[in-house]
Structure 1
Amino acid sequence: MNLNLRGRRALITGASKGIGAATAEVLAEEGCDLHLAARSAPALEDLARRLRAAHSVGVSVHPVDLRLPEDLDRLAGDVPDLDILVNNAGDIPGGSLDAVDGKAWRHAWDLKVFGYVDLTRLVYARMKARGRGVIINNIGNAGERVDSNYIAGSSGNAALMAFTRALGGRSLNDGIRVVGVNPGPVATERILTLLKAHEGKENAYADLMAGYPLGRAANPREIADLIAFLVSDRSAYTSGAGFTVDGGMSAAGA
């Protein structure tokens, strides 16, 4: 599908792997020029080389730690004329209240929660001055399908869902759309880490997949394709909304 995105400029955080890398792939296919941000410079460079060769688009890499205010400021300054921001970086650990101490909780939220809020604040101001832009917050269905064994993630995701709705409910007054995407389990390296912590056994992934819709987790590309549609003008009347992609598990109360 041609989404008429050619020539638009997109910043994707957490772009070195998983949903971030899949989003970079689909936006490159659609002709976007990309800014890719993550901590791993080698992974970003590898992805950038592949995307430039395959799709003939401009790709810049930004090795940053989005927990650090100075890195956030530098990143926002390096990409002043964005059309699209995809907030995607995050690694909130699994565990119950007694298992996730205050230091680990704050460290995780500095990236996923405050990292989203603070980068959005910086980018939003520049988009508002230009009168246009789209911000996608890739959040996660744990904010509505809460889990006491993922308490830091459920709480953080719920906060970001509220942030997206609150900001996106008025953002079209500034020519900006703010939208949330809430995936359920996605087949990435991260899910294996979380499941081992959650279940405490090596075969947790296979056991859990048996009970999922279609017997599998979502593919990262299935999430990325939705993001690409949402940033396009085909979704121009969409703001302040969240889209859950979990095979119906949240709707079923599973």
Structure 2
Amino acid sequence: MDLQLKGKFAIITGASKGIGKGVAVALAQEGCDLLLVSRTVTDLDQLASELAAEFAVSVKTMALDLSKSGAAAELLQKAGTPDILVNNAGAIPAGDLQAITEDRWREAWDLKVFGYINLCRAFYAAMQAKKSGVILNVTGLAADRTDADYIAGTTGNAGLNAFTRALGSRSLKDGIRVLAVSPGAVATERLVNLMKTRSQAQFGTEDRWQGFLANLPLARAAEVAEVADVVAFLVSSKASYVSGTVITVDGGHGSNHGSFT
């Protein structure tokens, strides 16, 4: 299917690894020109070179700490108004209410929660001026499958999902679509390494790491590309009537509250 993205300009935050990197690959395959943003460009520059060479698209990079006040306005001023903004930067630490101190909670939310909100505020206004644009927020399944041992992430992702639904509920009148993709467990390099470390500690070998995912649908996490392909479709004109909604990519895990089979 041609997603009609050739020649579109997309900004992807948190693009150096994981889902952000996967989205960059998926959009480059569709012919999008890209600006890849993260706190450092060490990993981004190599990715940009590879994507530009393989798919003949323009790929630029920018180092920017999106947790800082004024960063969203700086990004808009330097990059201009894109056709597509994918908010993906940020990782919220695990821990229960007492384990996550106020400082850690605020630091994590400054990047993922307030970072997303500030970027939406800046870029929505710019897109509104040209009556066109798509904003997609990558959130997470903890928003719905709540977890007391990931309380800052559960609360932050739930807030971003509600924010997305509210903003996107009437954005089409401005020619803009706002939506979210909420992945469950995804086989990013970070997740695989964590599971391998756990396997090594428990069994003396890294080779049994996949056993820790046995409770997931198909006994595995989602592949990065499985999430990135959903993002690519949703930001395309093929999803032109989709706004103010959250699409969950978790193999049904969030809807499975226990069964007899």
Secondary structure in 2 aligned to 1:69?
Answer: coil
- What amino acid maps onto 2:91 in structure 1? D
Match of 1:253 in 2: 257
Stretches (4+) displaced over 3 A = 192-199, 201-207
Query: How many Å apart are 1:191 and its aligned residue?
Result: 2.7
TM-score of the pair, normalised by structure 2: 0.92
8 Å contact 1:95–1:197 — kept in the other structure?
Answer: no
Structure 1 residues 178-220: Cα deviation after superposition (integer angstroms, max 9, x where no partner): 0110000001133357779999x66795343111111110011
* Cα pair distance change 1:194/1:169, threshold 3 Å: farther
1:24 corresponds in structure 2 to 24
TM-score by length of 1: 0.94
CA shift in 2, pair 1:197/1:120, >3 Å: farther
Identity %: 50
User: Which residue pairs with 2:183 in the alignment?
Assistant: 183
1:240 aligned partner: 244
Shift in alpha-carbon separation, 1:103–1:195, aligned structure 2, 3 A:
farther
| Unpaired segments ≥5 residues, structure 1 | none
Moved more, 185-194 or 134-143: 185-194
Q: Which has the larger radius of gyration?
A: 2
Query: Structure 1 16/124 Cα, relative in aligned 2: closer, same or farther at 3 Å?
Result: same
CA spacing shift, 1:198–1:252, aligned 2, 3 Å: farther
Partner of 1:230: 234
Over aligned residue pairs, what C-alpha RMSD do you find?
A: 2.0
Q: Distance in 1 between matches of 2:68 and 2:179?
A: 25
Change (3 A) 1:191 1:202: farther
- Which amino acid in the other structure matches residue 90 of structure 2? G
CA contact (8 A) 2:195 2:210 kept: no
Q: Which amino acid aligns with 1:148?
A: A
- In the alignment, is the contact (CA less than 8 A) between 2:95 and 2:151 conserved in 1? yes
Q: Which residue of 1 aligns with 2:114?
A: 114
Quick one: which amino acid aligns to residue 161 of structure 1?
N
Shift in alpha-carbon separation, 1:94–1:30, aligned structure 2, 3 A: same
What are the equivalent positions in structure 2 for 1:81-230 lying under 5 Å apart? 81-191=81-191, 205-230=209-234
For this pair of structures, how many residues does the alignment match?
253
**Aligned twin of 1:78:** 78
CA distance in 2, matches of 1:202, 1:166: 45
Letter in 2 for 1:245: V
The answer as to whether partners of 2:37 and 2:62 remain within 8 angstroms in 1 is yes
8 A Cα contact 1:93 1:194, kept in partner: no
Paired AA for residue 219 in structure 1:
E
The whole-number CA distance in structure 2 between the counterparts of 1:53 and 1:242 is 34
Task: Give the distance between the partners of 2:251 and 2:38, measured in 1 at CA.
Answer: 29
Distance 1:98 1:196, change over 3 A: farther
Does the CA-based 8 Å contact 2:198-2:209 persist in structure 1?
Answer: no
SS at match of 1:179: strand
CA–CA distance in structure 2, aligned partners of residues 143 and 189 of structure 1:
22
Unaligned runs of 5+ in 2: none
Answer yes or no: is the 8 Å Cα contact 1:149–1:198 preserved in 2: no
